[in-house]
């Protein structure tokens, strides 16, 4: 759709706000088995209420990634540590629910120490129980 001259003039004082997807790691088919490494700086709450991990790479540049319940549980005690996150893909829990699985390693004096093997499905959160109840 072509903008009219009036529309262009109206927006001359404005700057378009663009999505800040740069510096964000998405857990998908492209990132399976490709480790993500960095210093875990902390967490923030995302726009949809989920945990977002904030990391700094070896060049000192910050980046973020979604921290599902499983990933957050493995990372929560590692703030300030060098971590390596390996996305293993989607798995099915014993109850049949799909979840994203991860391996997390923390750097220790020249070696990587594994923080938990393949994750088990977490206990359902209050929100999940409410959603399941409403879905009937």
Q: By C-alpha distance, which of 90, 83, 88, 134 is closest to 104?
A: 83
Q: Could you tell me if 63 and 24 are in contact, meaning their C-beta atoms sit under 8 angstroms apart?
A: yes
Virtual CA dihedral for 83, 86, 91, 93, nearest 10 degrees?
-20
Measured CA to CA, the distance from residue 44 to residue 64 in angstroms comes to 10
Q: Is the pLDDT of residue 110 over 50?
A: yes
Q: Is the pLDDT of residue 121 over 50?
A: no
What are the pLDDT digits (tens) for 36-90? Answer: 999 999 999 988 889 999 999 888 989 999 999 999 999 999 999 999 999 999 9
Q: Could you tell me if 52 and 38 are in contact, meaning their C-beta atoms sit under 8 angstroms apart?
A: no
User: Range with the lowest mean pLDDT among 1-10, 47-56, 96-105, 111-120?
Assistant: 111-120
- Residue 53: exposure state from Cβ atoms within 10 A (0-12, 13-18, ≥19): buried
Q: Could you tell me if 67 and 24 are in contact, meaning their C-beta atoms sit under 8 angstroms apart?
A: no
Q: Is the pLDDT of residue 104 over 90?
A: yes
Task: Show the tokens assigned to 39.
Answer: 């210093």
Q: Set out the domains of the chain in order of their start, with CATH numbers.
A: 23-135 (2.40.50)
Mean pLDDT of 105-112: 71
Measured CA to CA, the distance from residue 85 to residue 27 in angstroms comes to 11
Q: How far is C-alpha 63 from the chain's CA centre? A: 10
Q: What is the pLDDT of residue 119?
A: 43
Q: Does the reported pTM lie above 0.75?
A: no
């Amino acid at each position: 759709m072509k903008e009219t001259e009036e529309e262009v003039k109206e927006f001359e004082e404005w700057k378009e706000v663009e999505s800040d997807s740069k510096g964000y790691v998405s857990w998908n088919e492209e990132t399976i088995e490709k480790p993500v490494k960095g210093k875990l700086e902390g967490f923030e709450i995302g726009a949809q209420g989920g945990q977002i991990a904030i990391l700094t790479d070896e060049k000192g540049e910050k980046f973020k990634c979604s921290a599902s319940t499983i990933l957050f549980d493995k990372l929560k005690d590692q703030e300030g540590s060098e971590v390596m996150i390996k996305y293993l893909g989607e798995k099915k829990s014993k109850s049949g629910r799909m979840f994203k699985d991860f391996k997390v390693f923390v750097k220790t004096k020249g070696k990587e120490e594994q923080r938990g093997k393949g994750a088990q499905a977490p206990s359902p959160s209050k929100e999940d129980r409410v959603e399941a109840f409403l879905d009937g």
